[in-house]
Amino acid sequence: MTNLNAVDPAAVAQDAHLESADVVIGKNTIIFRRFLRNKTAVAGLAIFLALTAFSFIGGFFTPWDKETIDPFNIGMPPSADHYLGTSQAGIDLYAMTVEGTRISILIGLVVGLVSVLVAAVYGCTMAYFGGKVDKVMLFILEALIMMPALLVVAVATSGGGEGLKRNLPSWLLLIIVLLVFSWMGTARLIRSMSMSLMQRDFVKAAQYMGVPPRRIVWRHLVPNIGSLLILDITRGVTAAILAEVAFSFIGIGIKVPDVSLGVLIGGATSQVQTFPWMFWVPLTVMFLLTGSLAMMNDGLRDAFDPSSSSTGKAKKAKARKTTAEKKTA
Amino acid sequence: MSSETTTGAMEPARSDVERLHVAGLHAPTDAVLSVRDLNVRFNSENGVVHAVRGVDFDLMPGKTLGIVGESGSGKSVTSLAIMGLLPPTAQVSGSVRLKGRELLGLSDKDMCKYRGNDLAMVFQDPLSSLTPVFTVGTQIVEALTIHHPTMSRTAKEARAVELLAMVGIPSPKDRLKAFPHEFSGGMRQRVMIAIAIANNPRVLIADEPTTALDVTIQAQVLEVLHTAQEETGAAVVMITHDLGVVAGMADDIMVMYAGKPVETGAVDDIYYNPRMPYTMGLLGAVPRVDVAEKSSLVPIEGMPPNLLHAPTGCSFAPRCPLASEACHDGEPALAPVDGQGLHRAACIKSEALGGDVDVHDVFAAPPVPVSRFDAVPRAERSTVLQLKDVRKHFPLTRGALIKRRIGTVKAVDGLSFDIREGECFSIVGESGSGKTTTLLEIMEFHADQDGEVVIGGLSNKQAADAKTKAKMRRELQMVFQDPTGALDPRFTVYEVLAEPLQNAGMDRGAIRKRIMELMKLVGLQPDHVNRFPNQFSGGQRQRIGIARALAVNPKLVVLDEPVSALDVSVQAGVINLLDHLRAELGLSYLLVAHDLSVVRHISNRVAVMYLGKIVEIGAVDRVFDNPRHPYTRALLSAIPVPDPQLERTRERIILQGDLPSPLQAPKGCNFATRCPVFAALPPAKQEKCLTLEPPLEAAASATDQQFACFFPDGELDEDMLVVHETADHHAP
């Protein structure tokens, strides 16, 4: 036969090249490198990880917990006994902050992850089937967007949901309600992205091979919008934390005895003058939490964006020097 | 071009460039543009890429320099460096002199005095190079205003009309007020040329100006470029990967490889007496539309080198079949061939390559594969695909709320043909002729279609249930145009190839075995299955696409422009592979391509489509050697041939205008609006073309050729014929 099947020296040489040298860099490596190059984003990640660690192991550093009342220290500023002071009722603020941070992060992560996942499957399904399916699903989506989330949260957590409240802790109830109302925007975005992916030849190729639709959505569409999904998760986590804080602040989110950052901030607003630490400590933690996520999100966007100005090991200084030399020459 | 590069383009330090100019080695008096030791470096994730490594050339007024090479060889970067359009992160060094004045190192603001004035550029993609929100007239006037602020408005408008007329836009005065979207791609490229020549540039850089256009439009645009050059006396730098396009136009050719010129010389020297194996390979890799003799194409194996690291030896050595030990020490400099100064090649063996060295021997082109079906007469072979009167009409509606039907787009209009076992059937035509719609109609395969599609004995009219469809999918598979888009970037090769097999219900062990077979079959290394598509070159990706199509052992493979996204050298390898697979596996192909040279090389039968109809069909050699329909004749004459002598003396039919819009489609013969025969007919005979639709009839002799024309051998209109009698102005 021909030399088509023979292993030719050129290909072998090129192969050795590919394996030994850094010709092909995996996409993930590139993204990782670009992310690391953004110092703000790395700082954000560090802060977020530190806060998460704090919320889990912080409780071991104090003998107090969020329910024990210290009758000798009521409304005391930070001291050696109580690192961050105590509340008007004599409960240790440090213990409450640890607990509150954990609940807030938990709500943020669960809502952020699950809502994006729901949005991805829903959006891709709409895009893949198109036509009538798309129209009906789009109608449901639009209807949900128009529903006043605030009222539903208020009803579910205080008035109407008595039965629910008995069976579920208030943070779980809030997660469910937030989930129902947080995925629509992302789903719409994903729908339009997948619609353009549908035009790509590899989806057509799969269709022409007779691959069933379910598999095409799961194996071809969802992974290919992965970078968008990751961005949306970090954004969704921030949004969920803020929503929790806001709802708890106006008294319809997490209910005492459960503690969250929002409950702490909400409870302390009336006492900013008398017990300032009760207000500023949870506020700072919340700011660190959402701020770190925003910093990370910025770096992630830069890392994923193919048209980003992140130009590799750019030696800008050298470039400037050569042009300067040329001008003087 | 004089002697300084013989010392090696890389040798002189950057500051020495100025000294070269002063020493008079630079010829400021006669060259309008002279480039010396141009180097461009980019920063990338992997380190510094040295994209252009020492380019030197002199461009004389009124002459044309063709720069050819594969993608990634630094052609476009060179042109952008000259124009000063590279991003600020690029490091450019060397010297670019326009009429003796240095351009490199000028600030963006200073460059603006030259850009669009003495130095103009035509870009590749005409669809995106005009601003959609301004009229064409405004954009031409803008180019004039910037460089001639004192010109009066009427004068500018008069000049704009003059320019549009020069580039052949009908009724230029009215068209001034038209927006870019009202023009077709070819017309927009003409407008771009008009803008480029608005200020009588001394140098016009055309970067792949016709790559995005159809062949017939390409012929028109090349003609316009030719006129523009004659009118303005500008020197032209023509950048292209298509050796045919420059053959007729260029005076000098520079072949670039890995960022360096590897062979330069007068056009005849390069085409008839190439001395660098790379040039020889490029020339051998191009199929010829005018040659019937079947011989395998010359593939250049491997990929261009990585420009992150300075090559230690000849940059082409890893791919060169003639490479020896000596090639690996030191990069050869451009050296004069046979002692004459103008033809220079960067190869230590250039002396030995002269005369009658056959490129097929040098590159070990595979022998022509013979299929077991070739010996069987066509009528005795079984039919794998049959189309009977297939139609696809799209309603054309207008109105936002209430949709009125204002016409019908007949994308496919009554198509019938069949494909027998072991043959390659091609459909050719301009874009918009309905080639791709035909493919989609075949791939769709459902009962509601207008017309009957029979694939391997299964008709779409009888049971089009899921089972029949699954069975049909095993008979018919598709290879896509863009190998990158057709492979899911997140799948490894193994997953890509496993998908159709899993779908066919094969078990794990069998899948693994089959994938190893497939990898060998398409000439890929079996241990590469765990790589991702982005770790392969374009040609290798297309091989993966072919392997995927062959996975379920189909009888018929549909190829949608399988090589048009590939470089010529890689294209040759893929075409050879397709040829070989057809012979070895007894496959049939349905090929859609706009490149007639590829079609001629690979197919047995061909159908020419125009506005949804077949206008001529038959055995490929019959149709190409003796075309009867005027459209086929025009298409064939528009294909550039990589043969400068032939190109210069060839008579060429330049069709007027573009495909008519479906609303203006004529009643009788579709082609009448653009037909060169029709234009030359007396009015009495024209009447017949306008009212009656010509049927597809067999040619008089009992050969395999049918065409749809009343006056097949009619005389051609003289206005549409162009011959360039420029043989003597090409003397060096």
Q: Write the pLDDT tens digit of every residue in A244-281.
A: 888 888 877 777 777 888 888 888 888 888 888 888 88
Q: Calculate how close chain B gets to A225, using CA atoms only, in Å.
A: 11
As a whole number of angstroms, the distance between CA B621 and CA B418 comes to 18
Pairing of strands B47-59, B33-44: antiparallel
**Strand B383-398 vs strand B404-420: parallel, antiparallel, or unpaired?**
antiparallel
Q: Tokens 């193994």 map to which residue?
A: B494
Instruction: Return d(Cα B103, Cα B97) in angstroms, integer.
Output: 6
Residue B541 has pLDDT above 50, yes or no: yes
Comparing CB atoms, the residue among B93, B503, B548 nearest residue A210 is B503
Phi, psi of A216 (to 5 degrees): -65, -45
Q: Positive or negative CA dihedral for B718, B724, B727, B728?
A: positive
**Per the CB < 8 Å rule, is B45 touching A202?**
no
A210 inside 8 A of chain B by CB: yes
What's the sign of the alpha-carbon dihedral B521, B525, B526, B528? negative
The residue written with tokens 């003059």 in the block is B162
- Lowest-confidence segment of A225-229, A313-317, B85-89 by average pLDDT: A313-317
pLDDT of residue A308: 54
**Structure confidence at residue A321 as a pLDDT band (50, 70, 90):** very low
Say if the Cβ atoms of B580 and A15 lie within 8 Å: no
Are B478 and A205 a contacting pair at CB < 8 A? Answer: yes
SS3 assignment, position A247:
helix
- Other beta carbons within 10 angstroms of residue B713's beta carbon come to 10
Q: Name residues 88-127 of chain B within 8 A of A (Cβ).
A: 89, 91, 93, 104-105
Under 8 Å between Cβ of A157 and A175: no
Record: contact B503-A10, CB cut-off 8 A: no
* Pair type for strands B252-257 and B404-420: unpaired
Burial class of residue A129 in the structure, from the number of CB atoms within 10 Å of its CB (0-12 exposed, 13-18 middle, 19+ buried): middle
Sorting pLDDT into bands at 50, 70 and 90, what band is B203?
very high
Candidates A10, A219, A315; nearest CB to B319 = A10
Separation CA B438–CA B455 (nearest Å): 14
Residue with tokens 């506005």: B611
What's the confidence (pLDDT) of residue B206?
92
Residue whose tokens read 């005492």: A256
Query: What is the structure's pLDDT at B664?
Result: 67
Tell me what pLDDT residue B665 has.
Answer: 67
At position A59, the amino acid (one-letter code) is G
Q: Are B256 and B67 in contact (CB under 8 A)?
A: yes
Two tokens, residue B329: 């020490």
CA gap B59, B100 in Å, rounded: 12
- For residue B360, the one-letter residue type is H
- Could you list the beta-strand ranges (E) of B491-603: 556-560, 588-592
CA distance A261 to chain B (A): 40
DSSP state of A149: H
- Residue among B47, B366, B500 whose CB faces A313 most closely: B47
pLDDT classification of B427: cutoffs 50, 70, 90: very high
Q: What is the mean pLDDT of residues B241-258?
A: 88
Rounded Cα gap, residues B21 and B60, in angstroms: 17
- Residue B66 and residue B253 in contact, taking contact as beta carbons nearer than 8 Å: yes
What is the DSSP secondary-structure string of B440-496? Answer: HHHHH--TTSEEEEEETTEESSS--SHHHHHHHHHHEEEE-S-TTTTS-TTS-HHHH
Residue B509: exposed, middle, or buried by beta-carbon count in 10 A (0-12, 13-18, 19+)? exposed
> Dihedral, CA atoms, B717, B718, B723, B728, nearest 10 degrees?
170
Residue A157 tokens, joined: 């957590």
Summarised one tens digit per residue, pLDDT across range A8-21 is 444 444 444 444 33
Summarize pLDDT for A166-215 with one digit per residue, the tens: 667 778 888 888 888 888 888 999 999 888 888 888 888 888 888 888 88
Residues 6+ apart with CB under 8 A from A216: A128, A203, A206, A207
What is the per-residue pLDDT across A134-165, written as a single tens digit (0 to 9) for each?
A: 999 999 999 988 888 778 777 776 665 566 66
Residue B139: the pLDDT is: 93
**Strand runs labelled E in B269-361:** 335-336, 344-345
Q: How confident is the model at residue B607 (pLDDT cuts 50, 70, 90)?
A: very high
Instruction: Give the tokens for residue B183.
Output: 């023009």
Query: How many angstroms separate the CA atoms of B381 and B385, rounded?
Result: 12
Amino acid residing at B388: K
Of the candidates B105, B488, B576, which has its C-beta nearest A326's C-beta? B105
> Which DSSP helix (H) or strand (E) runs through B38?
strand B33-44
Stretch A226-249: mean pLDDT = 86
Q: Give the confidence band of B141 by pLDDT, cuts at 50, 70, 90.
A: very high
For B24: left if phi > 0, alpha if psi spans -120 to 50, otherwise beta; the answer is: left
**Residue of chain B nearest A197, judged by CA positions:** B485
State the Cα angle at A41 between A35 and A45, rounded to 5°.
105
Interfacial A residues in 184-203 facing B (CB < 8 Å): 200-202
Residue A222 has pLDDT above 60, yes or no: yes
For chain B, the first-to-last Cα distance in angstroms comes to 12
Q: What residue type is assigned to position A311 of the chain?
A: T
CB–CB of B75/B67 below 8 Å?
A: yes
Chain B hits for A15, Cβ within 8 Å = 525
- List Cβ neighbours of B172 (8 Å cut-off, separation of 6 or more): B160, B161, B162, B164, B165
Consecutive H or E run containing B571: helix B568-585
Give the whole-angstrom CA distance, residue A52 versus residue A48. 6
Residue whose token pair is 């020492």: B54
Strand partners, B477: B557
**Residue A144 half-sphere exposure, CB side, CA atoms within 13 Å?**
19
Quote the DSSP letter at residue A310: -
**Cα three-residue angle B399-B400-B406, rounded to 5 degrees:** 20
Higher-pLDDT residue of B421, B358: B421
The answer to whether the CB of A149 falls within 8 A of the CB of A220 is: no
Tell whether the model's pLDDT for residue B205 goes beyond 90: yes
In chain A, residues with a C-beta closer than 8 Å to the C-beta of B319 are 10
The tokens for A223 are 């992974």
Q: What is the CA radius of gyration of chain B?
A: 27
pLDDT digits (tens, 9 = 90+) for B76-85: 899 999 998 8
- pLDDT for residue B700: 67
The 3-class secondary structure across B393-440, one letter per residue, is: EEEEEECCCCCEEEEEEEEEEEEEEEEECCCEEEEECCCCCCHHHHHH
Residues 484-503 of B with CB under 8 A from A: 485-490, 499-500, 503
Residue B655: CA atoms inside 13 Å, Cβ hemisphere, count? 26
Q: Identify the band that residue B724 occupies on the pLDDT scale cut at 50, 70 and 90.
A: low
User: Residue B219 has which token pair?
Assistant: 């012929």
- From CA B538, how far away is CA B529, in angstroms rounded? 16
φ, ψ dihedrals at B430, nearest 5°: -70, 170
Q: What is the structure's pLDDT at B590?
A: 94
How big is the A-B interface in CB pairs under 8 Å? 131
Q: What is the Cα–Cα distance from A225 to A117, expressed in whole angstroms? A: 11
- How far B46 CA sits from the closest chain A CA (Å)? 7
Predicted pLDDT at A164: 60
Question: A41 to chain B, minimum CA–CA distance in Å?
Answer: 19
Structure tokens at B77: 């970067």
Mean local confidence (pLDDT), B590-616: 90
DSSP secondary structure string for all residues of A66-103:
SS-B-TT-SSPPS-SSSTT-B-TT-BBHHHHHHHHHHH
Confidence of residue B373 (pLDDT cuts 50, 70, 90): confident
Contact B9, B333 (CB under 8 A): yes
Q: Is the pLDDT of residue B382 over 50?
A: yes
A-chain residue closest to B549, CA distance: A209
Q: Do A277 and A84 form a contact (C-beta atoms < 8 A)?
A: yes
Q: What distance in Å separates the CA atoms of residue B218 and residue B201, rounded to the nearest whole number?
A: 22
Extract the tokens encoding B681.
């007919």
Average pLDDT value for chain B: 83
Q: Is the peptide bond before B332 cis (omega within 30 degrees of 0)?
A: no
Pairing between β-strand B252-257 and β-strand B203-207 as defined by DSSP bridges:
unpaired
Percent of chain A beyond pLDDT 70? 81
- pLDDT tens digits, B486-496: 888 888 888 89
| Top-ranked range on mean pLDDT: pick from A110-114, B22-26, B528-532 | A110-114
Q: What digits encode the pLDDT tens for the residues B659-717? A: 777 666 677 888 888 888 888 888 888 888 888 888 888 876 667 888 888 888 777 77
- Rounded to a whole number of angstroms, the distance from the CA of B473 to the nearest CA of chain A is 6
pLDDT at B6: 39
Q: Could you report the per-residue pLDDT of B316-332, keeping only the tens digit for each?
A: 888 888 888 888 888 88
Chain A residues with CB under 8 Å of B18 CB are: 329
**A interface test, pick of B499, B520, B530, B580 with most A CB neighbours within 10 Å:** B499
Please report the DSSP string for A12-75 in residue order: HHHHHHHHHSSSS--HHHHHHHHHHH-HHHHHHHHHHHHHHHHHHHGGGG-S--SS-B-TT-SS
Q: Does the beta-carbon distance from A25 to B487 stay under 8 Å?
A: no
Residue B340 has pLDDT above 50, yes or no: yes
Q: Phi and psi (nearest 5°) for B2?
A: -120, -150
